[in-house]
């Protein structure tokens, strides 16, 4: 198979892939530690056999529970389950063209059509496995970097499939602007599954023989999805290791099947850093403190004892553990044969240290925002929590919108458009804009509504309603609030509908005035 000239040769691709994975080696120890303490069951950085125990060195479950609750909170505020967390709006360019009368349709009609398209898009998203896979993606994000693969399935009912890919075996390349635009992946797959997994797979003669004769044999493959700046397209390619043969290629257009987000990022680094990495020192300290506390409790329960010994005591043979007997020359003046040894540790002080570390970890992963009682919260309490979370994550939310949410929507739209399930949409900022309506996004809109409300109320109280009507477009206030609050366009009256209501009211008022000015029938005029 012949590669596009912009990709270069296979050797060029292998060189790029090797450099990307070399960067991963700098992160190996950091990620191994983080996943060991926070996500041991998702830790693939250790070379362990399948089914091997992964939590033998964990003595406190605070970090495990905290990152799970943090991921749930991130999901419910950014991409809540069974909810439409974004909608489509005409861009500023389209709005200006509408004002000039260059379109035969009104802005209200366009907004309603875009809303219908958004409903279809999120119906497919919500019926897919997006919720479960985004949760796993959020777990990785809290450590620093999360990756989702979005594939197209043959099914008409479920054409979109999401996969939260573990960070082991994935490498990235950044664009000059700092966004991840090229993905590399190394993994193993059964020989018989190669042609099924990649449509259009064309093996080399030697690989074709392995597929035929050894179908269960695991094959090392490398897959890359590379962005071509000149063609403005994402191009996929795959080769089997130790072969100089491209077995699969695919043009993905302007949307990549790979989506990688970084919670936050340090200049010069490709991978991200999340709150879990910041809390890792506290997690390690807590785990060690809990280990010592459990050992002390076991010693207090089983005891340690000294026993008289006529020989010479070898300190190197002494074991400090529950129930141990330490040989000594003499116990005390009474000289009993055996005596319990006082360890002298303070468990209460240890508990203070443990509680403090646990609180630090929970706060780092936003667990302190959740009501520990599990009581049902009002809409106001949820809104307050979202505003507090928005303040805490700061710029991370904007990065997640750009690197995760927008690429997911673009990829889904591309698949649905190709399958003829929605109308063609250009989500490039020129024709259609994506407006996020998740709780975290609406928290800022709530602040805007509150600020405008306070300004209008101040003018009303201090200058009167006449000045408020002159200073503010009160007639547009309801529409603006509805847009900020995420009210569907189908529930908001258009400008033409409002004019009809105003006109009907004016006509009714005029008719009433005319009727009142006429003499009542049967009344005698004097």
DSSP string, 23-37: HHHTTHHHHHHHHHH
What are the C-alpha distances in Å from 420 to residues 89, 313, 459?
21, 85, 52
Q: Could you tell me if residue 357 is inside a domain? A: yes
First to last CA, the chain: 106
User: What is the reported pLDDT for 407?
Assistant: 95
Q: What is the mean pLDDT of the chain?
A: 83
**Three-state SS at 336:** coil
User: What is the reported pLDDT for 282?
Assistant: 96
Mean pLDDT, range 328-351, rounded to an integer: 63
Q: Could you tell me if residue 343 is inside a domain? A: yes
Is 328's pLDDT higher than 70? no
Is 23's pLDDT higher than 70? yes
Q: Could you tell me if residue 458 is inside a domain? A: no
Q: How does pLDDT run across 45-63, given as a tens digit for each residue?
A: 655 545 556 677 889 999 9
Residue 343 is encoded by which pair of tokens? 């360890």
Mean pLDDT, range 94-103, rounded to an integer: 77
Cα within 13 Å of Cα(443), Cβ side = 20
User: What is the reported pLDDT for 321?
Assistant: 65
Is 283's pLDDT higher than 90? yes
Mean pLDDT, range 275-290, rounded to an integer: 94
Give dist(CA 248, CA 236) in Å, integer.
8
Q: What band does 400 get if pLDDT is binned at 50, 70 and 90?
A: very high
> Alpha helices, DSSP H only, in 7-129?
10-25, 28-38, 62-78, 92-99, 107-127
**Three-state SS at 128:** coil
User: What is the reported pLDDT for 510?
Assistant: 76
Q: Could you tell me if residue 297 is inside a domain? A: yes
Angle at 306 between CA 304 and CA 312, to 5 degrees: 135
Q: Kindly report the pTM of this predicted structure.
A: 0.81
Lowest mean pLDDT among 192-201, 230-239, 248-257, 308-317: 308-317
Query: Considering only CA atoms, which of 31, 56, 60, 57 is closest in space to residue 44?
Result: 31
Lowest mean pLDDT among 55-64, 68-77, 159-168, 176-185: 55-64
Q: Could you tell me if residue 87 is inside a domain? A: no
- Secondary structure string (H, E, C) spanning 206-241: HHHHHHHHCCCCEEEEEEEEEEECCCCEEEEEEEEC
User: What is the reported pLDDT for 284?
Assistant: 94
Total of domains in the chain: 1
Q: Could you tell me if residue 332 is inside a domain? A: yes
329: containing domain? 278-377
Q: Could you tell me if residue 394 is inside a domain? A: no
Q: How does pLDDT run across 461-478, given as a tens digit for each residue?
A: 888 777 777 777 777 777
Lowest mean pLDDT among 42-51, 151-160, 500-509: 42-51
User: What is the reported pLDDT for 401?
Assistant: 93
User: What is the reported pLDDT for 351?
Assistant: 83
Give dist(CA 440, CA 366) in Å, integer.
14
Q: Could you tell me if residue 138 is inside a domain? A: no
Mean pLDDT, range 511-517, rounded to an integer: 73
User: What is the reported pLDDT for 526?
Assistant: 38
3-state class percentages of the chain: helix first, strand second, coil last, to nearest 5: 50, 15, 35
User: What is the reported pLDDT for 232?
Assistant: 92
Residue 429 and residue 91 in contact, taking contact as beta carbons nearer than 8 Å: yes
């Amino acid at each position: 198979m012949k590669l596009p000239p912009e990709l270069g040769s296979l050797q060029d691709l292998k060189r790029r892939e090797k450099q990307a994975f070399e960067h991963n080696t700098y992160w190996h120890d950091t990620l191994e530690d983080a996943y060991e303490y926070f996500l041991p069951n998702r830790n693939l950085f250790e070379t362990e056999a399948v089914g091997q125990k992964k939590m033998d060195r964990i003595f406190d479950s605070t970090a495990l529970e905290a990152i799970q609750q943090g991921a749930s909170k991130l999901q419910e505020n950014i991409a809540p389950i069974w909810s439409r967390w974004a909608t489509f709006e005409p861009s500023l360019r389209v709005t200006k063209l509408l004002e000039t009368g260059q379109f035969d349709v009104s802005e209200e009609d366009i907004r309603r059509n875009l809303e219908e398209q958004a409903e279809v898009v999120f119906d497919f998203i919500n019926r897919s496995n997006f919720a479960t896979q985004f949760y796993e993606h959020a777990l990785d994000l809290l450590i620093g970097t999360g990756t989702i693969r979005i594939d197209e399935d043959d099914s008409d009912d479920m054409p979109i499939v999401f996969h939260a890919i573990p960070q082991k075996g994935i490498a990235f390349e950044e664009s000059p602007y700092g966004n991840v635009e090229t993905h590399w992946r190394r993994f193993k797959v059964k020989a018989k599954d190669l042609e099924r997994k990649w449509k259009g797979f064309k093996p080399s003669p030697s690989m074709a023989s392995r597929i035929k004769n050894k179908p269960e044999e695991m094959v090392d493959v490398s897959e890359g999805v590379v962005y071509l700046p000149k063609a403005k397209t994402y191009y996929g390619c795959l080769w089997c290791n130790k072969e100089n043969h491209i077995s699969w290629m695919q043009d993905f257009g302007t949307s990549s099947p790979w989506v990688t987000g970084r919670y936050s990022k340090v200049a010069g680094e490709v991978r991200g850093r999340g709150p879990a990495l910041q809390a890792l020192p506290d997690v390690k300290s807590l785990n060690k403190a809990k280990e010592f506390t459990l050992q002390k409790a076991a010693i207090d329960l089983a005891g340690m004892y000294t026993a008289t010994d006529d020989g010479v005591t070898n300190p190197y043979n002494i074991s400090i553990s529950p129930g141990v007997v330490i040989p000594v020359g003499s116990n005390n003046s009474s000289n009993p044969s055996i005596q319990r040894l006082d360890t002298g540790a303070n468990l209460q002080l240890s508990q203070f240290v443990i509680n403090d570390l646990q609180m630090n970890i929970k706060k780092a992963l936003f667990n302190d925002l959740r009501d520990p009682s599990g009581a049902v919260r009002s809409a106001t309490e949820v809104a307050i929590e979202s505003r507090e979370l928005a303040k805490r994550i700061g710029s991370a939310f904007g990065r997640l919108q750009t690197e995760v949410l927008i690429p997911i929507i673009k990829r889904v739209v591309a698949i649905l458009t190709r399958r003829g399930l929605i109308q063609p949409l250009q989500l490039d900022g020129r024709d259609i804009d994506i407006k996020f309506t998740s709780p975290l996004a609406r928290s800022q809109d709530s602040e805007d509504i509150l600020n405008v409300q306070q300004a209008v109320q101040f003018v009303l109280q201090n200058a009167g309603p006449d000045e408020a009507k002159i200073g503010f477009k009160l007639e547009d206030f309801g529409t603006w609030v509805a847009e900020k609050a995420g009210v569907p366009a189908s529930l908001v009256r258009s400008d033409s509908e409002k004019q009809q209501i105003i006109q009907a009211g004016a006509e009714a008022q005029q008719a009433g005035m005319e009727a009142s000015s006429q003499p009542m029938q049967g009344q005698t005029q004097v």
